[in-house]
Amino acid sequence: MSFPALVEPAAELTTDEVRRYSRHLIIPDVGMTGQKRLKNAKVLVIGAGGLGSPALLYLAAAGVGTLGIAEFDTVDESNLQRQVIHGVSDIDKPKGQSAKESIAEINPYVEVVLHPERLDNDNVFSVFEGYDLIVDGTDNFATRYMVNDAAYFLKIPYVWGSIYRFDGQASVFAPMLGEDLPCYRCLYPEPPPPGMVPSCAEGGVLGVLCASIGAIQVNEAIKLLTGIGDPIAGKLMIYDALEMEYRKLKVRKDPSCALCGENATVTGLIDYDAFCGAVSDEAAEAAVGSTISVVQLEHMLKERDNGERDFVLVDVREPNEAEINHIPGAVLIPKGEFLNGNALSQLPSDKQIVMHCKSGVRSAETLAIVKGAGYADAVHVGGGVVAWVSQIDPSQPTY
């Protein structure tokens, strides 16, 4: 299904711009009019990370006149494996500023507008207003639902992408362009249970996958802005990098969708953190009074070494994570073993169980399972191995 162009053409292209965009101009579908539309376009990219990096680079190279960047984070060394808009000299620099400088090197004719604050219910409308299109490169469910809802209320189409390990997804959500077109909630009415889907920081992502999905997002953005081709609104692109396989599934509008359905119940912005949850209610309840600090754990480990106490320290991360860093004396039993019940047979019944993960989310989830199995004195380590490396053993790498 084709749509009218989102943007009217700019008045003209300069001689320098004609030279710069000549390979676009000789494509009949784009031509002078399409390039003028790109020049006149205002696109907001949410995040200058894995997906935002290639998206921003190619939107700038394509000649999108105004690029907004909503990004509050700073560049970390671990970002450089996939966030190609940043370099070594940008470490500790605000990502938005780093991206702006890279864009200036690619295309000085692009105006960059920085939104360096974290998006929330108080500012999302003011940040979104005035843009023709949004490219969503967020990496958490709470922000994705907020972006979807805010874009729907403001009637701004947006291009969505998601990546994890070797798998990527992309779609266009634009119910304002057609009565039968779905929104993100039509595809995913409810977020997954907290802790069920690991983040890229927990599960990893193949760096080049970001370029694959980010390029799809830019391709769809150009089609929408210029009114050419058949955008993937109402479709879901699924990419498996290991099998080098693309699939396209139809996504139908859900008549009972809480946002865009016939009897909508979401009529304004909601508490998205509560809706998605950092941890489940069960995990939060289990962690109350059963969370220790890494300083306490260090003291406990010394007592164990001296024979003054005995307990089992369980690392619930994946084996490849434990190869990067570890807390000495921990036994590795991945979270999945607790979910399928196999881990309980590996735990002694006469010792206290102490659990840790990377940051404390997965260990809280497994703590709830262990307590439910009768280990009433079980605890988990708040902050996990990240806190351990930061406060106790900075000689180990972070990830």
Active-site residue (options: 183, 186, 200, 210): 200
Question: Is-catalytic flag, 200?
Answer: yes
HEC per residue, the chain: CCCCCCCCCCCCCCHHHHHHCHHHHCCCCCHHHHHHHHHHCEEEEECCCCCHHHHHHHHHHHCCCEEEEECCCECCHHHHHCCCCCCHHHCCCEHHHHHHHHHHHHCCCCEEEEECCCCCCCCHHHHHCCCCEEEECCCCHHHHHHHHHHHHHHCCCEEEEEEEECEEEEEEECHHHCCCCCCHHHHCCCCCCCCCCCCHHHHCECHHHHHHHHHHHHHHHHHHHHCCCCCCECEEEEEECCCCEEEEEECCCCCCCCCCCCCCCCCCCCCHHHHHCCCCHHHHHHHCCCEECHHHHHHHHHHHHCCCCCEEEEECCCHHHHCCCCCCCCEECCHHHHHCCHHHHHCCCCCEEEEECCCCHHHHHHHHHHHHCCCCCCEEECCHHHHHHHHCCCCCCCC
Question: Is-catalytic flag, 276?
Answer: no
Active-site residue (options: 183, 186, 276, 357): 357
| Residue matched to tokens 């299109």 | 133
How far, in Å, CA of 130 to CA of 203, rounded? 36
How far, in Å, CA of 87 to CA of 100, rounded? 13
Query: From the CA atom positions of the chain, what is the Rg in Å?
Result: 24
- Active centre residues (catalytic): 200, 357
